[in-house]
Amino acid sequence: MIRVALVQHAAHAERARVWERIEHALDEAARNGAQLVLLPELPLGAYFCQSEDQAAFAQAEPVPGPTSERLGALAARHGLVIVGSVFERRAAGLYHNTAIVLETDGRLAGCYRKMHIPDDPGFYEKYYFTPGDLGFVPITTSVGRLGVLVCWDQWYPEAARLMALAGADMLLYPTAIGYDPRDPAEEQARQKAAWELVQRGHAVANGLPVLVANRCGHEPDPTGATAGIAFWGGSFICGPQGEWLARGEAEPTVLMATLDRAHTERVRQTWPFLRDRRIDAYSDLLKRFRD
């Protein structure tokens, strides 16, 4: 059994205030018995990818670096495994959107560089982030093998499957997704439902628990060209049948759940999907399109 938590929070322009919020949330999670805490994507400030602004590169930092060190110290203080998210400066002109995993002793257990990079109005990530080159490899920790992926990866069954095939014990998605406030309410509802469906679908297809930490709150478009993004919160933890274990609304929150590895294994015995994969017939998955 493992007790997991995730933090859903709203951005704040002052980094010191963000750290206060993160420390407060980690305190709360630890007090409630958490062994593992997942933070949202790029939690240290506004979602800067709403525009293409060269000045934003100044926010990037190396890994290991100040954020991994500070989160490592918090992990050690509370005896937690922490999954965080950093705007990584790897070299001049080479940046990544990187998840970092801190061990209970404060050590950097590993990192994952976001593999699938989106680009659509308000989410200009291809400008900032080089696609990851570390592949889909779970990070081994004292609480299990963590299949850490990031945001846009959540739409890709391939990413979830590769983590499962590499022995991940759970899938974890730091994310930053929201509505365009100008979209009609029905379209907003369909988008949020689709986002839940596809990730709960990964839980089912792979017989794995899934943790998703999103940000919440409205952030204006710095260019003023659009209505900004209404980050929808809705962070959740589901079990290996996609069943709800914890589910946030639109406000900042700390969600907790208990994962039962023996239950997960029974689910995967009942529906042993990995047994019957037709690996002899999947080669076209490596094509862009079958035309």
Quick count: other Cβ atoms within 10 Å of Cβ 279? 6
CB nearer to a second copy: give 43 or 138: 138
Q: What is the dihedral of CA 134, 136, 141, 144, to 10 degrees?
A: 180
Q: Per rule CB under 8 A, is residue 69 in the interface with a second copy? A: no
- The least distance separating a second copy from the CB of residue 181, rounded to whole angstroms, comes to 16
Q: Identify whether 126 is a catalytic site residue.
A: no
Q: Per rule CB under 8 A, is residue 274 in the interface with a second copy? A: yes
- The least distance separating a second copy from the CB of residue 270, rounded to whole angstroms, comes to 7
Q: Which of residues 117-146 bind a second copy (CB under 8 A)?
A: 117-118, 120, 131, 135-136
Q: Identify whether 192 is a catalytic site residue.
A: no
- The least distance separating a second copy from the CB of residue 209, rounded to whole angstroms, comes to 13
Residue 262: CA count within 13 A, CB half-sphere:
1
User: What gap in Å lies between CA 247 and CA 58, rounded to an integer?
Assistant: 35
- The least distance separating a second copy from the CB of residue 130, rounded to whole angstroms, comes to 12
CB nearer to a second copy: give 31 or 271: 271
> Which residues are CB-neighbours of 233 under 8 A, at least 6 positions away?
8, 214, 215, 216, 217, 248, 249, 250, 251, 253
Q: One of 114, 216, 219, 238 is an active-site residue; which one?
A: 114
Q: Which of residues 145-164 bind a second copy (CB under 8 A)?
A: 152, 155-162
Q: Identify whether 287 is a catalytic site residue.
A: no
Q: One of 111, 151, 216, 238 is an active-site residue; which one?
A: 151
Angle between helices 66-78 and 15-31 (to 10 degrees): 20
- Binder to a second copy among 51, 140, 188, 191 (CB under 8 A)? 191
Q: Six-digit token pair at 235?
A: 């962070």
C-alpha Rg value of the chain to the nearest Å? 18
Cα–Cα distance list, 144 to 24, 29, 30, 141 (Å): 25, 18, 18, 5
- The least distance separating a second copy from the CB of residue 72, rounded to whole angstroms, comes to 28
User: What gap in Å lies between CA 43 and CA 46, rounded to an integer?
Assistant: 8
Q: Per rule CB under 8 A, is residue 230 in the interface with a second copy? A: no
| DSSP H/E element including 213 | strand 210-213
- Binder to a second copy among 204, 208, 211, 237 (CB under 8 A)? 204
Phi, psi of 180, rounded to the nearest 5 degrees:
-80, 115
Q: Per rule CB under 8 A, is residue 247 in the interface with a second copy? A: no
CB nearer to a second copy: give 72 or 122: 122
- Binding residues for a second copy, rule: CB under 8 A, are 115-118, 120, 131, 135-136, 152, 155-162, 165-167, 190-191, 193-194, 197-205, 241-243, 270-274, 276-279, 281-291
Catalytic residues: 41, 114, 151
